[in-house]
Structure formats: C-alpha cells, structure tokens
C-alpha cells in the first residue's frame, strides 16, 4: 500500500514532466520522503528523475539550446557538492524542515517571478541560476524553479527550454547520485518505481496533445503542496518523538 502511493506519484509526476518539461521531483518529493526518509527519499526521487529525463530526451534532442544548456549545466555541477554536504551536516528533523521549506519556496517562486527573472539574463544569469539549481537538485532535487526563473528572464522559448531542461536535469541527476550514492532501498521497489516512471513518460507523450498545460500545472501544484505539508508534518513528529 505504501509503495503504491509512491508509484502513483511517480506516474503522475512523469506525465506532468512530459507535458510541462519540469516538476517531476516537485510532485514526487512528498511521498518519496514520507516512505523512505529525507535522505533516501530524495535519492530515490533524483534517481527516478534521471530515468524520466533519459526517456524524454530522444524526442526532444533536436530542440535543445546547447549554449544556454551548457552554462546552466556547468554552473550547477560546480555547486552540487555543496548541496550534498548540507544533507550530511543536518540531522533528520532539520533536513525534513529544509526540504519542506525548499519545496514551499519553489511553489511560491512565481510570486517573485517578474522581480527575480528580470535580473536573470544572459551568461551571468545562466551561471547564477545554474549554481542555485545545481545546489538545490543535489540537496533536495528541487532545481526546477531556478531554471524556470532564468527561462522567463532570458525569454527562452518554452519548447526549446522544455527540451533543454531534460539535458540539464539528466546531468544534475547523474552527478547528484554519484555524490550521494545509490539509494539503499529494496531493489524490487526501485524496479517497480522505474517502470511506473517510464510508463508515465510514455503515457504523457500520448497525452500532450489532449491535456492542457494549465491543467497539468494545477494538478502538479495540488500534489506538490500536499507532499510539502506531509514532509513538514513528518518533521514536526520527528522533533516531538
């Protein structure tokens, strides 16, 4: 039953990522952390995000904007070790609150989108955004908002951004897993979750023509806020116990 919760979240997250280009971990982080804990849960989510991006990438390859992509990727990879260091320094309760806080900031980032995005342009904006995204991906998996802020500020075409994001997230994910190590959860769980993620991406490819992006984003927000609240409450219970 508990595994089924993460499986459903993985399918929904994969469909949303295929439709919008982002938000896989934002949707999955709550259930993953609830079931596997703050360290292993994030690692599982990052590993599944690698699968999602790897499957989505071939169909998006021709649309990748390599100039922007490489700046964001390099800056993020430099910052990633500091994100992993944070997870090793914080105790479990503090890490749960940190993940919940990062998720909340990610979900509310659109309120400051115009102000923040205005300063995130060109090569300098890519370096700043990439560094923030890489740090957050390695520590919590939540790199999407920083990437999206740069896309808005630099007036990046949505289709090319969504394609490029798959390369960036794949790179961030591979380095994050390399630094964090593979999750120690049951191999059977990982296989099932990997299959669910692949099914969600493939299903999302079929739904892109019939599911409005607006609806996908709304479902993403509902799932992400529910997961954020659950992670926060788990932190409260950890402190109280």
Helix (H, G, I), strand (E, B) or coil at 102: helix
Residue 19, pLDDT > 60, answer: yes
**For residue 26, what are the CA distances in angstroms to 13, 194, 227?**
8, 17, 8
Contacts of 104 (CB under 8 A, 6+ apart): 228
Residue 109, pLDDT > 70, answer: no
Higher local confidence (pLDDT), 66 or 105: 66
Comparing 86-90, 118-122, 161-165, 189-193, the range with the smallest average pLDDT is: 118-122
Cα–Cα dist 234/87, whole Å: 17
Q: Provide the pLDDT for residue 192.
A: 95
Contacts of 54 (CB under 8 A, 6+ apart): 170
Question: What would the mean pLDDT of 205-226 be, rounded to a whole number?
Answer: 73
Range of the domain at 6: 2-240
Question: Whose structure tokens read 């932190």?
Answer: 235
Cα–Cα dist 176/127, whole Å: 18
**Domain count for the chain:** 1
Q: Provide the pLDDT for residue 193.
A: 96
Q: What is the pLDDT of residues 49-92, one digit of tens each?
A: 999 999 988 888 888 999 999 999 999 999 999 999 988 898 88
């Amino acid at each position: 039953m508990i595994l089924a919760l993460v499986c459903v979240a993985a399918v929904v997250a994969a469909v949303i990522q295929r439709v919008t280009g982002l938000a896989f971990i934002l949707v999955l982080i709550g259930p993953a952390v609830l079931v596997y804990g703050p360290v292993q849960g994030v690692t599982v989510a990052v590993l599944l995000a690698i699968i999602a991006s790897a499957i989505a990438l071939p169909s998006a390859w021709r649309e990748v904007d390599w100039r922007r992509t490489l700046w964001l990727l390099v800056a993020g990879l430099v910052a990633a070790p500091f994100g992993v260091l944070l997870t090793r320094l914080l105790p479990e309760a503090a890490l749960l609150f940190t993940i919940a806080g990062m998720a909340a900031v990610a979900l509310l980032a659109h309120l400051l989108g115009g102000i923040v995005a205005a300063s995130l342009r060109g090569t300098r904006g890519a370096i700043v955004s990439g560094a923030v995204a890489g740090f957050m991906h390695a520590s919590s998996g939540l790199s999407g908002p920083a990437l999206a802020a740069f896309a808005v500020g630099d007036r990046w075409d949505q289709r090319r951004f969504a394609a490029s994001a798959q390369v960036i997230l794949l790179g961030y994910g591979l380095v994050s897993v390399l630094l964090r190590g593979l999750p120690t959860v049951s191999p059977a769980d990982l296989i099932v979750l990997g299959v669910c993620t692949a099914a969600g991406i493939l299903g999302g490819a079929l739904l892109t023509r019939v599911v409005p992006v607006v609806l996908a984003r709304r479902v993403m927000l509902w799932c992400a806020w529910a997961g954020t609240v659950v992670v926060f409450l788990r932190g409260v219970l950890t402190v109280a116990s």
